[in-house]
Structure 1
Amino acid sequence: MTATKLDLREYLQQHLLVGDGAMATQLHRLGVPVGISFEELCLSNPKLVLEVHNSYYQAGARLLETNTFAANRDALARYGMEHRVTRINRQAVSLAREAAQGEGYVAGSIGSILAGRVRKKVLDEYRDQYEEQAIALLHAGVDALLLETFLDLEELLLAIDVIRPLTNIPLITQLATLEVGRTRDGYSLTEAFARLKTAGADVIGLNCRLGPAEILRSFEQVQAPEGAVLSAFPNAGRLGLTDGEYAYKSTADYFAESALRLREQGVRLIGGCCGTTPEHVRAMADALAALEPKERVNPTIVPGERPQVTVTSIRDQDRPSIVEKVKSNTTIIVEFDPPRDLDAESFLEGCCELHNAGADAITLADNSLATVRMSNMALGALMKSRYGIDPLLHLACRDRNLIGQQSHLMGLHALGIDQILVITGDPSRFGDLPGASSVFDVTSFDLIRMVKQLNEGISFSGRPLKQKAQFIVGAAFNPNVRQIDAAIARLEKKVEAGADYIMTQPVYDAESIKLVYEATKHIGVPVFIGIMPLTSQRNAEFLHNEVPGIKLSAEALERMKRVQGEEARQEGIKIAKELVDTAIHYFRGIYLITPFNYYAMAAELIQYTRQQSELLKVPVQG
Structure 2
Amino acid sequence: MNASSGARHRESLPQLGPEPFLTDGGIETTLIFHDGLDLPFFAAYDLLTRDGGEDALRRYFEPYLAVARQRGLGIVLETPTWRASPDWAHRLGHDTRQLAELNRRAVALLEELRDLQGPDAPPVVISGCVGPRGDGYVVDTAMSAEEAAAYHAVQVDTFAATAADLVTAITMTSADEAVGVVRAAQEAGVPVVISFTVETDGRLPSGQPLREAVEEVDARTGSGAAYFMVNCAHPTHFEDVLETGSAWTDRIRGVRANASRLSHAELDEAEELDEGDPDELAAQYLALRERLPALTVLGGCCGTDHRHIAAIAAAWR
Does TM-score exceed 0.5, indicating one fold? yes
1:86 aligns with 2:100: yes
Offset from partner CA, 1:548-593 (integer Å, 9 cap, x none) = xxxxxxxxxxxxxxxxxxxxxxxxxxxxxxxxxxxxxxxxxxxxxx
1:202 has 2:210 as partner: no
Query: Residue in 2 aligned with 1:284?
Result: 312
Q: Tell me, in whole angstroms, the C-alpha distance in 2 between the residues paired with 1:158 and 1:174.
A: 13
Residue aligning to 1:232: 255
- The reply to whether residue 114 of structure 1 matches residue 134 of structure 2 is yes
What is the letter of the counterpart of residue 172 of structure 2?
Answer: F
For residues 244 and 11 of structure 2, the distance between their equivalents in structure 1, rounded to whole angstroms, comes to 30
8 A Cα contact 2:129 2:170, kept in partner: yes
1:43: Cα distance to partner?
Answer: 3.5
Cα displacement (A) at 1:280 = 0.5
Following TM superposition, by how much is the alpha carbon of 1:223 offset from its aligned partner in structure 2, in angstroms? Answer: 3.8
What are the Cα deviations for residues 150-172 of structure 1, in whole angstroms up to 9, with x where unaligned?
111111112212221211x4311
C-alpha contact 1:193 1:224 (8 A) present in aligned 2 = no
1:79-228 mapped onto 2 (5 Å cutoff): 79-83=92-96, 84-100=98-114, 101=117, 103-116=123-136, 117-120=138-141, 122-123=143-144, 124-167=146-189, 169-198=190-219, 199=221, 200-208=224-232, 210-220=233-243, 223-225=246-248, 228=251
CA contact under 8 A between 1:63 and 1:106: conserved in structure 2? Answer: yes
Structure 2 letter corresponding to 1:46: E
Q: What's the secondary structure of 1:248's corresponding residue?
A: coil
State the match for 1:12 in structure 2. 16
Please give the root-mean-square deviation of Cα atoms over the aligned residues, in Å: 2.6
Question: Secondary structure in 2 aligned to 1:247?
Answer: coil
Aligned to 1:35: 40
1:207 positional shift: 0.7
Q: Which blocks of at least 5 consecutive residues in structure 2 are unaligned?
A: 4-9, 69-73
Equivalents in 2 of 1:196, 1:127: separation in Å?
13
Higher RCO (C-alpha 8 Å, min separation 6): 2
Residues 1:49 and 1:7: Cα distance change in structure 2 (over 3 Å): farther
Helix, strand or coil: the match of 1:69?
coil
Instruction: Measure the CA separation in 1 of the matches of 2:249 and 2:231.
Output: 21
Q: For 1:8 and 1:251, how far apart are their aligned partners in 2?
A: 35
Matched-pair identity in %: 24
Cα shift readout 1:221-270 (whole Å, capped 9, x = no counterpart) = 794438525211111113569xx942214211112212212233222211
Please report how far the alpha carbon of residue 149 of structure 1 lies from its aligned counterpart in structure 2 after TM superposition: 0.3
Q: CA deviation at 1:66?
A: 0.4
Q: In the alignment, which residue of structure 2 is the partner of 1:264? A: 290
1:93 positional shift: 0.6
Alpha-carbon distance change, 55 to 10 in structure 1, aligned in 2, over 3 angstroms: closer
Please, which moves more after superposition, 188-197 or 86-95? 188-197
Question: What do residues 315-356 of structure 1 show as CA deviations (whole Å, max 9, x unaligned)?
Answer: xxxxxxxxxxxxxxxxxxxxxxxxxxxxxxxxxxxxxxxxxx
- For 1:10 and 1:34, how far apart are their aligned partners in 2? 32
Q: Deviations over 1:426-470 (max 9, x none)?
A: xxxxxxxxxxxxxxxxxxxxxxxxxxxxxxxxxxxxxxxxxxxxx
Q: Work out the CA distance in 1 between the residues paired with 2:79 and 2:259.
A: 20
Structure 1 residues 222 and 25, CA gap change in structure 2 (3 angstroms): farther
Q: Hey, what does 2:71 align to over in structure 1?
A: none
Count of aligned pairs: 283
Q: Alpha-carbon deviation of 1:140? A: 1.6
TM-score of the pair, normalised by structure 2: 0.80
Amino acid at match of 2:248: P
Tell me the distance in 1 between the aligned counterparts of 2:49 and 2:209.
40
Query: Are residue 47 (structure 1) and residue 55 (structure 2) matched?
Result: yes
Q: What SS does the corresponding residue of 1:46 show, helix, strand or coil?
A: helix
Is 2:281 the counterpart of 1:255? yes
Say whether the 8 Å CA contact 2:25–2:304 is kept in structure 1: yes
Tell me the distance in 2 between the aligned counterparts of 1:35 and 1:227: 37
* Equivalent of residue 274 in structure 1, options 302, 307, 311: 302
Corresponding residue of 1:76 = 89
Contact 2:195–2:231 at 8 Å: present in 1 too? yes
Instruction: Find the counterpart in structure 1 of residue 28 from structure 2.
Output: 24
Q: Distance in 2 between matches of 1:283 and 1:122?
A: 39
Is contact 1:115–1:150 with CA below 8 Å preserved after alignment? no
Cα displacement (A) at 1:120: 4.8
TM-score with structure 1 setting the length: 0.42
Contact 2:259–2:304, Cα closer than 8 Å, also in 1:
yes
Q: Distance in 1 between matches of 2:80 and 2:131?
A: 11
CA distance in 1, matches of 2:83, 2:40: 13
Q: 1 CA distance for matches of 2:20 and 2:143?
A: 38
Q: CA deviation at 1:47?
A: 1.1
8 Å Cα contact 2:244/2:290 also seen in 1: no
Report the Cα distance in structure 1 between the residues aligned to 2:18 and 2:235, rounded to whole angstroms.
24
Amino acid at match of 1:225: W
Alpha-carbon offset, residue 94 of structure 1 = 1.0
Paired letter, 1:282? A
In the alignment, structure 1 segments of 5+ residues that lack a partner are 290-622
Contact 2:200-2:238 at 8 Å conserved across structures: no
Matched with 1:64 is 77
